[in-house]
Amino acid sequence: MKRLILLGASGSIGTQTLDVIRMHPDKFMLTAFGVGRNIDMFRRIQAEFPVSEATVEREEDAVLLRQEYPHMTILSGEEGMCSLAERRDYDILVNALVGFAGFLPTWHAIRSDHDVALANKETLVVGGELIDQALREHGRKLLPIDSEHSAIFQCLQGNQTSQVKRLIITASGGSFRRLSRDELRDVTVEQALAHPNWNMGAKITIDSATMMNKGFEVMEAHWLFGLPYEQIDVLMHPESIVHSMVEYRDHSVMAQLGNPDMRLPIQYALSWPDRFELEQEKPLDLAAVGSLHFSAPDTRRYPLLGLAYETAKKGGTLPAVLNGANEVANLAFREKEISFLDIEDILVRAVFRAGKKEVHDVQDLLDADAWGRGYADYLIRGTKQ
Ligand code: MG
């Protein structure tokens, strides 16, 4: 029986993690959980998976919930999440948070000797270097939930990373993959939110449309699997059936395939090295799919992919700046303050303007994140005038 703490329980990955627990009540047990502002969801989770401790985003919600659940310990804010991550009585933290907010809970979980099943790629984009060090020092593991990284992780089983020639991360191209750059000028949030293959949260669906998500996944792969950026490639694959591949030094290419269903990578992260049953309405039927397509990514069409590689190779605090600016620009687009192409413009300018510093401690990351957010804010106010 694995005891889990689930942060981000009311989001897309969070609710699918609850599904996995529901399917295997004899294998997984929820020990504590955290939600944001969805208090209704808090009540539903507590009714189905009663725990003694939980956390919410706002203290005002925690005050009300403490009256409603007098026997529970109810925490709030960043402190609440970090305090859950530091508990002794659990096996894996499932980090299903969105954005840089996911970094500190991961950090505290590892440093209090826990493994983390990670859906929050921003943790590694921003703080890969520090997380990597902490994992080594504490002899802990990160188990990938991101579908591409789960695929690579699966293809690496029984093999050695030292024999890998390259990782091939597949990319669907997002909601606008059929549009030219000219046609991107007037696209709307509603159009961007309709991802063709995956059912995901709003922030990541926009990141998929700009390909910022794929750029972040390249950085995530670098930190998870310890390979240099020269050995990590992106390949366009509109059907999202091949979830990623590993090419070995003898040119043998291993791929992991399946219908897009996030419950599989979630479950594998929790069951590894074992595999459990997973009920699917329609398991992959390649005869019905018929054909799969692949092509090289066009970095002029998707400039943020190129920017991500450049930023990643320079390293230091620059990825934290890029991520901070992206969180602000992504939200501003969703709130209709800026156009789709403004996102790219803001990110390119933020990274160009930022001075690179080395990362010595968490404060360096917090400072770079704040700088990226502040600069994006400034650019957005400028474009509105
Ligand atoms: Mg992914």
**pLDDT tens column, 238-277:** 999 999 999 999 999 999 999 999 999 999 999 999 999 9
Tell how far the Cα of 381 is from the centroid of ligand 1, in angstroms. Answer: 31
Measured in Å, residue 204 CA sits from the centre of ligand 1 at: 9
**What residue ranges do the domains of the chain occupy?**
2-144, 150-259+286-302, 315-385
Question: What pLDDT score does 384 carry?
Answer: 47
pLDDT per position in the chain (385 positions), as tens? 999 999 999 999 999 999 999 999 999 999 999 999 999 999 999 999 999 999 999 999 999 999 999 999 999 999 999 999 999 999 999 999 999 999 999 999 999 999 999 999 999 999 999 999 999 999 999 999 999 999 999 999 999 999 999 999 999 998 899 999 999 999 999 999 987 777 788 999 999 999 999 999 999 999 999 999 999 999 999 999 999 999 999 999 999 999 999 999 999 999 999 999 999 888 999 999 999 999 999 989 999 999 999 999 999 999 999 999 999 999 999 999 999 999 999 999 999 999 999 999 999 999 999 999 999 999 998 754 3
Q: Ligand 1 mean position to 254 CA, how many Å?
A: 18
Residue 119 near residue 94, CB atoms below 8 Å: yes
Q: What is the pLDDT of residue 383?
A: 54
2-144 and 315-385 in the same fold: no
pLDDT digits (tens, 9 = 90+) for 128-178: 999 999 999 999 999 999 999 999 999 999 999 999 999 999 999 988 999
113 C-alpha to ligand 1 centroid (Å): 26
Neighbours of 19 (CB within 10 A): 16
CA of 120 from ligand 1 middle (Å) equals 10
Instruction: Calculate how far, in angstroms, residue 200's C-alpha sits from the geometric centre of ligand 1.
Output: 10
C-alpha of residue 239 to centroid of ligand 1, in Å:
14
Ligand 1 centroid–CA 66 distance in Å is 37
The Å distance, Cα 217 to ligand 1 centre, comes to 7
Tell me the C-alpha distance between 28 and 37, whole Å.
Answer: 25
What's the confidence (pLDDT) of residue 385? 39
pTM of the model: 0.96
243 CA → ligand 1 middle, Å: 9
Q: Are 119 and 219 in contact (CB under 8 A)?
A: no
What's the 98 CA to ligand 1 centre distance in angstroms? Answer: 13
Q: Tell me the CA–centroid distance for residue 90 and ligand 1, in Å.
A: 26
Distance CA 83, CA 87 (A): 7
User: What's the 162 CA to ligand 1 centre distance in angstroms?
Assistant: 24
- Give residue 107 CA to ligand 1 midpoint distance, Å: 21
What Å distances lie between residue 85 and 114, 118, 162, 204, 266, CA to CA?
8, 13, 32, 24, 19
CATH number of 315-385: 1.10.1740.10
Ligand 1 centre from 148 Cα, in Å?
5
Domain 2-144 indexed as CATH 3.20.20.10: no
